[in-house]
Amino acid sequence: MNLDGGTAWSHGEPVEVVLEGGPLGIPRSMSTPAGAEIDRIKIQHLNGYEHFELDPTTADSVPLHFCWTMRTRIAE
């Protein structure tokens, strides 16, 4: 799992997130690392990465909701 930085979630505690969409086999919920500031999540899955972006309507609530946006392949 790789988390890319962005929003105001840096309270020093893990934040629960819900992942919507994407392929089967991706967890539907997870916790971010403590202190992470995120607006995008990139998860390695099979031979690529699944990309999720924060739903801005949930930016002030817990759990945060992230929607699947695309898949990229791992460069060989």
User: Given its phi and psi angles, is residue 22 left (phi above 0), alpha (psi -120 to 50 degrees) or beta?
Assistant: left
Determine the Cα–Cα distance for residues 33 and 3; give it in Å rounded to an integer: 9
Of 40, 36, 38, 30, the closest CA to residue 63 belongs to 30
pLDDT value at residue 32:
81
Segment 2-10 mean pLDDT = 46
pLDDT in tens, 11-65: 567 888 999 999 999 999 988 876 666 888 999 999 999 999 999 888 788 888 9
The pLDDT of residue 7 = 45
Domain count for the chain, please give it. Answer: 1
Task: Quote the CA–CA distance of 55 and 47 in Å, as a whole number.
Answer: 26
Q: Which domain holds residue 59?
A: 2-73
Residues 8 and 13: their CA atoms lie apart, in Å, by 12
Q: Which residue has the higher pLDDT, 76 or 50?
A: 50
Q: What is the pLDDT of residue 60?
A: 81
